[in-house]
């Protein structure tokens, strides 16, 4: 497993990340634990969930309980005010039975909390960071303008944004902007929300970008096996690979 620095957060994360927002669909608690531990045993140390998925937070926390000190946990809030940020964080900590979260992300599409904003959201995030309850602050969005503004503001250490082999050129420019500003880039929906099925092509495309951490949603052992296989055997980026990617890009764009 390769590990890369997640922007100026300085978190050293596995280049393959585990998307844990739908763990309640992955079976029994024992089955979920087996899935999570298989990823961990293969070197995955970065697990992402969300407060909007409380059952998944609970399942992830239980699965990681014995290896908590060796992993990096990310979760999200969509709070509408500073007070709700505190409430959501406390609920996440309780659900996962942990004392702090390495990466706490604000989920939004259109509204961006700013320093000294009247909503108090960013002030709450920085206060929680100062208190050691969260270690780093990120943003999660599917809105391009919000993403670009967040990166340019340099208030957020990481960006989680959709990125896959059929993404438009503006998204590739956003990836480059993150590299230029030392903002960690977490690629949500690496299979375009299930539209794509060719994991070798999807994996190989993203693997070309050293500052991108793909967030693979995993529900089954077979899915995890495929992802881990290509993590250990990255596809060769040759002319045939590029031609196949371009055909898909033209089809979807």
* pLDDT 10s digits, 141-170: 999 999 999 999 999 999 999 998 888 889
The model's pTM is: 0.91
pLDDT at 188: 92
Which of 18-32, 82-96, 189-203, 219-233 is predicted least confidently? Answer: 189-203
pLDDT average, residue stretch 68-76: 95
* pLDDT 10s digits, 84-110: 999 999 999 999 999 999 999 999 988
Determine the longest span between alpha carbons in the chain, in angstroms. Answer: 53
Which residues, other chains included, contact 95 with Cβ-Cβ below 8 Å and sequence gap of 6+? 54, 57, 58, 61
pLDDT average, residue stretch 233-249: 81
3-252 has CATH 3.20.20.100 classification: yes
pLDDT, the chain, mean: 91
Which residue's structure tokens are 């280049």? 15
Q: DSSP states of 174-228 as a string?
A: HHHHHHHHT-EEEEE-TTGGGT---HHHHHHHHHT-TTEEEEEE--SHHHHHHHH
Residue 227: name the closest of 213, 235, 216 by CA: 216
DSSP code of residue 131: T
Percentage of the chain beyond pLDDT 70 is: 98
Q: Is 129 exposed, middle or buried (0-12, 13-18, 19+ CB in 10 A)?
A: middle
Tell me the three state secondary structure of residue 140: strand
* Annotated domain spans of the chain: 3-252
pLDDT at 233: 85
**202, 165 in Cβ contact below 8 A?**
yes
Residue 22: name the closest of 215, 186, 222 by CA: 215
């Amino acid at each position: 497993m390769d590990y890369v620095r997640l922007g100026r957060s300085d978190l050293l994360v596995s280049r393959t990340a585990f998307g844990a927002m739908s763990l309640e669909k992955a079976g029994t608690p024992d089955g979920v634990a087996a899935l999570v531990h298989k990823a961990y045993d293969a070197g995955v140390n970065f697990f992402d969930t969300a407060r909007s998925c409380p059952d998944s937070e609970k399942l992830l926390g239980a699965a990681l309980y014995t290896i908590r000190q060796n992993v990096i946990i990310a979760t999200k809030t969509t709070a509408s005010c500073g007070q709700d940020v505190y409430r959501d964080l406390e609920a996440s900590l309780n659900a996962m039975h942990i004392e702090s979260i390495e990466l706490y992300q604000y989920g939004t599409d259109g509204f961006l909390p700013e320093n000294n904003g009247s909503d108090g959201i960013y002030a709450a995030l920085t206060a929680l960071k100062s208190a050691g309850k969260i270690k780093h602050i990120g943003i999660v969005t599917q809105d391009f303008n919000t993403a670009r503004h967040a990166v340019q503001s340099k208030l957020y250490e990481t960006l989680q944004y959709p990125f896959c082999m059929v993404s438009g050129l503006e998204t590739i420019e956003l990836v480059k902007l993150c590299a230029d500003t030392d903002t960690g880039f977490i690629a949500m929906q690496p299979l375009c929300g299930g539209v794509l099925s060719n994991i070798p092509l999807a994996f190989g495309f993203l693997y070309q970008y050293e500052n991108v951490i793909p967030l693979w949603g995993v529900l089954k052992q077979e899915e995890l096996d495929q992802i881990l296989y290509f993590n250990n055997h990255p596809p060769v980026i040759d002319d045939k690979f590029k031609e196949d990617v371009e055909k898909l890009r033209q089809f979807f764009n």
